Amino acid sequence: MSDSWSDLLMLDHQTTEQVFEAVGGAFRTSQGPAPEMIRNLVLYLTKYVDGCHNRKEEDHLFPLIERRGIPRAAGPLAVMLSEHEQSRQLLARLVPLATRYAAGDRSTLEALEAVFDEYSTLLKNHFWKENDILYPMARRVMSEEDARAVASGIEATEAALGPDTRGKYYALARRIGQVDDLSFGVERDVLAAILNTLPIELSFVDHNDLVRYFSHENSTKIFPRSRGVIGTPVQQCHPQASVDKVNAILEAFKAGTRKVAEFWIDLGGKKIHIRYFPVHSPEGKYLGCLETVQDITAIQELTGQRRLLNEEGQK
């Protein structure tokens, strides 16, 4: 299993939060959520969130970290277990209301929305407590062997529920409702300013290998370029001697056999780090290649620590 146990559990959290956003948005419309959405919601919450995700934690993660010294009766682990029980109590109230609503009884809409809001608020708060408090605490007390055991336990729990359990329920989550990417609510000029503020220069080449974007247009750049490059095949932007290597990287990205290509060079007394990443749609379609260029000279010189609240760190 390539992902760590915490990566897998936090991806569950992220997927479930997207479900909450979609269903919450549907409740805010004049017609309310469609009956099919609510049927799928009940299936996802009962079979995956409670029936799988919580079991992965309760059967594998929680017992192990208790053995490593994190008490079950007090502290963060006790809070997480208590909130699992609270979520089950709310789910027991939500399911009959949802069943009636999905069968056409719209008189349950107000009560259903209230219970859903209570349930989703509890779980969103619960997820960040696990992500930011319990999981880092767990990682500190776990050995590499412990981490592998929890990841294997997660895999076993999913396998016991059927083939490709996670993939099946993640697909169900997507059917419940597609939510907009977080960039949707950011104005175009603000998004452009964010990209131009990054301490990394960006360039994007589309799926046809044509240059479509570069950041920091009006700033001094490590590798100068002008608008005339837009629409140009990326191969023309590299020395002829390196075109074969460029093509090999792009073909590997398109084939899905490579996730990153990186290089570093010395330029004008600076250390420059250059990386290339394939860009994919949420459905996995290849969209193009992102190049990042960063001066890492100062980063290489860092020593010790500067905490966020240190006085010097406030300069």
- Written as tens digits, the pLDDT of the chain (315 aa) is 446 999 999 999 999 999 999 999 999 998 899 999 999 999 999 999 999 999 999 999 999 999 999 999 999 999 999 999 999 999 999 999 999 999 999 999 999 999 999 999 999 999 999 999 999 999 999 999 999 999 999 999 999 999 999 999 999 999 997 756 778 778 999 999 999 999 999 999 999 999 999 999 999 999 888 888 999 999 988 888 889 999 999 999 999 999 999 999 999 999 999 999 999 987 789 999 999 999 999 999 999 988 876 655 444
Classify 133 as helix, strand or coil: helix
Instruction: Output the CA angle 285-290-294, nearest 5 degrees.
Output: 155
CATH number at residue 53: 1.20.120.520
Last residue of a domain, one of 179, 202, 233: 179
Helices (H), 130-242: 135-141, 144-160, 165-176, 188-197
Please enumerate in sequence order all residues whose Cβ is within 8 A of that of 244, keeping only pairs 6 or more positions apart, or say none: none
3-state helix, strand, coil in the chain (%, to 5): 60, 15, 25
Is residue 165 domain-shared with residue 198, that is, in the same domain? no
- Cα(124)–Cα(90) distance, integer angstroms: 14
Domain count, the chain: 2
- Cα(23)–Cα(35) distance, integer angstroms: 11
- Cα 100 to the chain's mean position, in Å? 34
Is residue 212 domain-shared with residue 137, that is, in the same domain? no
For the residues of 183-202, what is the DSSP string, one character each? GGGS-HHHHHHHHHHSSSEE
Q: What pLDDT, on the 0 to 100 scale, is given for residue 315?
A: 45
Q: What pLDDT, on the 0 to 100 scale, is given for residue 312?
A: 57
Answer for the pair 58, 157: CB distance below 8 angstroms, yes or no.
no
Q: What pLDDT, on the 0 to 100 scale, is given for residue 310?
A: 65
- Cα(204)–Cα(277) distance, integer angstroms: 10
Last residue of a domain, one of 179, 209, 236: 179
In a domain, 98, yes or no: yes
Is residue 35 domain-shared with residue 117, that is, in the same domain? yes
In a domain, 313, yes or no: no
Residue-number span of the structural domain to which 76 is assigned: 5-179
- The number of beta carbons lying within 10 Å of the beta carbon of residue 267 is 12
In a domain, 314, yes or no: no
Q: What pLDDT, on the 0 to 100 scale, is given for residue 179?
A: 59
Answer for the pair 49, 151: CB distance below 8 angstroms, yes or no.
no
In a domain, 311, yes or no: no
- The number of beta carbons lying within 10 Å of the beta carbon of residue 110 is 12
